[in-house]
Amino acid sequence: GVGQVQVDMNSETGVATVRLNRPPVNSLNLDVLTELGIALEKLDADRTCRAMVLASAVPGIFSAGLDILEMYQSTPERCVAFWRALQDAWLGLYGSRLVTMAAIEGHSPAGGCLLAMSCDYRVMADGKFQIGLNETRLGIVAPFWFEDVMLNTIGHRETEKALQLGAMYSAQQALSIGLVDKVVPLAEVMPTVQGELKNWLQIPDAARVITKTSMRKQVLDRLRSQKEKDAQFFADFIGRDSVQRSLGAYIASLQKRKS
Ligand code: CO8
């Protein structure tokens, strides 16, 4: 595909590469999340596909996370639609039967970190890029299922610190707490992912998928059982004056940083 979510399926290897392509920073708006959800659904249904690499078509960025403009001065209806698209994309990714690998070749805050953590394996470029759930720094709160995914990735103690502080980690720091699995120079990220995929693809799919499902089902079901409530909570929370003020200030600080 050539849209904001590019899918390249290699039918010889059974590996699909999915690249986010929304310059300048791959922020996730309603359209991109909808496209991503559909792409994941299609790959899941494609019996020739065994694995997926999630990456970016935009140099220097994996994803800047949720599009802040979807949360700022929006309407409750739009907020709910936006949140449903995020829920569905995430349920598709975290629950995917495919081997999923994140090739993190750039910054990966907030929603970007969520996407990466939701894969089976993460390789990150060494250097200046950062990854983490920074929500509290924006005056917002990572939803319970973001928290669940992080708990499942780095454990309770590190998650407590990471979430309260809204901590952003360098690749080396992320490696040391288990937030990513491997750190290599930028040019080595893709080759490293391809090499690691060989290990995962040696395992018979059926046994691996049953194991993955068993490990992730509880967290998936927790959201599945309260999607509407969660979407409504998001819309209500985002609509608060105090939250809107925090987001407004954060957007201003992002713009100021540039000059
Ligand atoms: N959404 C919308 N616009 C963004 C975002 C974003 N997430 N990130 C950056 N932009 C904009 C910038 O404002 C800038 O716009 P402009 O050109 O008009 O000034 C443009 O994109 C380019 O950004 P930068 O110049 O900052 O690009 P850099 O390459 O220097 O830096 C970074 C890239 C590191 C990604 C930096 O832009 C950054 O830190 N962005 C903010 C990332 C962030 O904090 N994301 C959090 C989103 S919240 C989320 O994902 C989960 C929310 C859960 C909600 C729960 C509520 C209940």
- Residues 82-120: tens digit of each pLDDT: 999 999 999 999 999 999 999 999 999 999 999 999 999
> Is residue 70 annotated as a catalytic residue, yes or no?
no
Q: Which domains does the chain have, with CATH numbers?
A: 5-201 (3.90.226.10)
List, in order, residues 6 or more apart from 75 with CB less than 8 Å away: none
% of the chain surpassing 70 pLDDT: 99
pTM over 0.90: yes
- Per-residue pLDDT for 259 more than 80? no
- Among residues 43, 132, 134, 196, the one annotated as catalytic is 134
> Is residue 12 annotated as a catalytic residue, yes or no?
no
> Is residue 135 annotated as a catalytic residue, yes or no?
yes
**Residue 255 CA, ligand 1 centroid: distance in Å:** 10
Confidence of residue 258 (pLDDT cuts 50, 70, 90): confident
**Residue 24 CA, ligand 1 centroid: distance in Å:** 9
Confidence of residue 1 (pLDDT cuts 50, 70, 90): very low
Question: Taking a C-beta distance cutoff of 8 angstroms, is the pair 219, 43 a contact?
Answer: no
CB neighbourhood size of 47 (10 A): 7
What angle do helix axes 156-165 and 144-154 make, rounded to 10 degrees? 130
| Residue bearing the CA closest to ligand 1, atom 11 | 25
Q: What is the ipTM of this complex?
A: 0.98
* CA 28 to mean position of chain CA atoms: 10
Measure the CA–CA gap between 67 and 57, rounded to whole angstroms.
17
* Mode of pairing for the β-strands spanning 169-170 and 121-125: unpaired
> Is residue 36 annotated as a catalytic residue, yes or no?
no
- Among residues 35, 105, 135, 147, the one annotated as catalytic is 135
Question: What beta strand segments (E) does 57-208 contain?
Answer: 60-61, 99-104, 106-109, 121-125, 130-132, 169-170, 182-184
**Residue 68 CA, ligand 1 centroid: distance in Å:** 7
Q: Is the CB of 132 under 6 A from ligand 1?
A: no
